[in-house]
Amino acid sequence: MAKKYRCGTCKTTSGWLDSDEFKTHRKTHRDRFHGGDAPDDEESLQGTAPMFSNGVGAREAALILGILIVLSYMWEAKG
């Protein structure tokens, strides 16, 4: 599940991040802008990253396409 990090104090929102990227981004933001403390109104916005809008979406699409190609080869081999 992709997430966006939002800091209401700074009024900034990140791009789509995976779980590890989110944690890193949040820590970096807290360290850089809030002296390592958690701002009161930070949020994680969950959703699905739009396809092809960033590296994650494109990578997932390529994976799905690869699986479909393999399946179609297997299907043809059977017939």
- Residue closer to Zn ion by CB (options 36, 79) is 36
Rg (CA), the chain: 19
Whole-angstrom distance, CA of residue 60 vs CA of residue 56: 6
Under 8 Å between Cβ of 25 and 14? yes
- Residue closer to Zn ion by CB (options 11, 78) is 11
Q: Is 33 in the site for Zn ion (CB under 5 A)?
A: yes
Q: Is 7 in the site for Zn ion (CB under 5 A)?
A: yes
Q: Is 6 in the site for Zn ion (CB under 5 A)?
A: no
Cα-flanking dihedrals φ and ψ of residue 4, to 5°? -115, 140
Residues in contact with Zn ion by CB under 5 A are: 7, 9-10, 33, 39
